[in-house]
Amino acid sequence: MQCIVNRRAQFSASHRYWLPELSEADNCEQFGACSRFPGHGHNYVLFISMMGELDKYGMVLNLSDVKHVIKREITSQLDFSYLNDVWTEFQETLPTTENIARVIWERLSSHLPLVRVQLFEHPQLWADYMGNGMEAYLSVSTHFSAAHRLAHPDLSLEDNFEIYGKCARPHGHGHNYHLEVTVQGEIDSRTGMIVDLGALNQVIEDYVVEPFDHTFLNKDIPHFASVVPTAENIALHISNLLRSPIQELGGKLYKVKLIESPNNSCEIYCTDSDANVANSAVNQPVLARV
């Protein structure tokens, strides 16, 4: 029986985004505040995922041994360090979140049966690396507050109540939506970036947060005049809004996750086949919700 086990670790370190071949002005333009001397720091949280067969003792690996490997190879070297100098890999390619995850994989892969390295720079920014060359995934999170009403325009009030329950009440209700956007791409061999993080955050702000925040979605967002703004349809619409702008930044939109409440969330995976299937059903009423 194959099983995946996960081990958490953490370290505190500083880094600076600065390329010596660029002028000070060019570094400031490309990296913004992250180029400031002497750098800035984070409390990094690391998750190592490993896969293997269950042994007769009910374990994939002895997690005590795993802990010592991670400490010896990673955290004891990175904790309270200046990342640009601590490993030679970061002198060639800057220590961005996605590149740190990649290098951690390379340093652990001969010791542990890895399937994923996930690194949180802070709760709103993290990267996933799965051992595929320079390919990685970068995720950012944000939020907006909005109201909506779940009612299909072609159905009666009674039918809408049967499908959507109290979410069909005429005056709607609101949520503090939590949005996670994941971008897939190749790590640049010099900057260490999949996409420019500042530009990515600005795209999400311009296309989603600013237009959606403090709105009544059914009335203020034209798309939802004829489409029921369920969490699923909102996430799908967000994915359609972000796909082209993120591609223009040099990345590929991989996933949109929308958390409507602590109990309800949905995920849209943005492959072409998934998008085609989802778009064909966008105007169909959803099944009853709890």
Q: What is the DSSP string of 115-151?
A: EEEEEEEETTEEEEE-SSTTEEEEEEEEEEEEEE---
Query: What are the φ/ψ torsions at residue 10 (nearest 5 degrees)?
Result: -150, 155
Contact in structure between 118 and 128 (CB atoms under 8 Å):
yes
Separation of alpha carbons 258 and 142, rounded Å: 10
Q: Residue 206: which residues within 8 A CB-CB, separation 6 or more?
A: none
167 in active site: yes
Catalytic hit among 121, 167, 180, 270? 167
The 3-state DSSP class for residue 2 equals strand
Q: Residue 14: which residues within 8 A CB-CB, separation 6 or more?
A: 38, 39, 40, 41, 42, 81, 82, 83
Taking alpha carbons only, the member of 228, 239, 249 closest to residue 277 is 239
29 in active site: no
Catalytic hit among 53, 210, 214, 248? 214
Catalytic hit among 98, 121, 232, 260? 260
210 in active site: no
Residue type, 288: A
Active site residues: 167, 214, 260
